[in-house]
Amino acid sequence: KIFLIVSLGILGFLAYGNALSNTFVWDDQVFIVDNPVIRHVKFIPDFFTKRLSENSAWGRGFDSYYRPVFLLSFLFDYHLWGLQPFWFHLHNILLHIFCTILVFYFAKTFWDDWRFSYLSALLFCLHPIHTEAVTAVFNRMDILVSVLSLGAFLLFAEFIGSQKKDALFYFLSLILFGFALFAKELAAMLLPV
C-alpha cells in the first residue's frame, strides 16, 4: 500500500515537475504578482467579505466569484517564499499529488480492489486534462476544491460506514466541505452526492 502511494507521488512529480522552472503566467500576474491583498494578513477579513474582483488587481470580471481559501493559499505562499514562482508551482504539484492519493482512497471506498484503485488514481494523476490546473498557479482553485471535496466525502463515508458513528468524522467532513465551498463554488455538487 505504501509502495503504491509513493509511486503515485513519484509519477505525479515526474509528470508535472517540469513546471517548477516556469514563471508566473496569464492570470498569475493579476492574482499573485500585482495583487496587494496577498501581501499582508490584515486583508484576510476582506477575503471573506468581498468578492474576488475586489481582492485582486483584476477588478471587474470576477464579480460573482467568492473564493477566500484560494486567496489564503496565495497569501500563505507569499509569506513563506515571496514572489518566487518555484514555490507556488511546487505547492500546486504537491496538492495534485495529494489529490491523486485521495482519488486512490476514493476508488478504494467503492471497489475493494487495490489494483483498480491504483489504476484509477494513476489515470487521474497522469491525465493531461490536469495540466492547466497544475502548471498555471492561478488554477490552484481547481485542485483545492478537489482535495477538500474528496477529503470531505471520504470523512463522511468513514462516518457512515463506521459502527460507532464517530461524530468527529462527521464534524471534520462538514469543515472540509465549508473550506471547499470557499475554494470554489463547484463544491456545492458534493451535497447531492
Tens of pLDDT, residues 126-159:
998 888 889 999 889 999 999 999 999 999 998 9
User: For the chain, what percent of residues have pLDDT higher than 70?
Assistant: 92
Alpha-carbon distance of 185 to 20, in angstroms, equals 28
- What are the pLDDT digits (tens) for 44-73? 888 888 766 665 655 555 556 778 898 899
For residue 67, what is the DSSP state?
A: -
- What's the longest Cα–Cα distance across the chain? 51
Helices marked H in the chain: 2-16, 28, 44-49, 68-81, 85-110, 114-126, 131-135, 140-161, 167-183
- pLDDT, position 45: 85
Buried b (16+ CB within 10 A) or exposed e, 47-56: beebebeebb
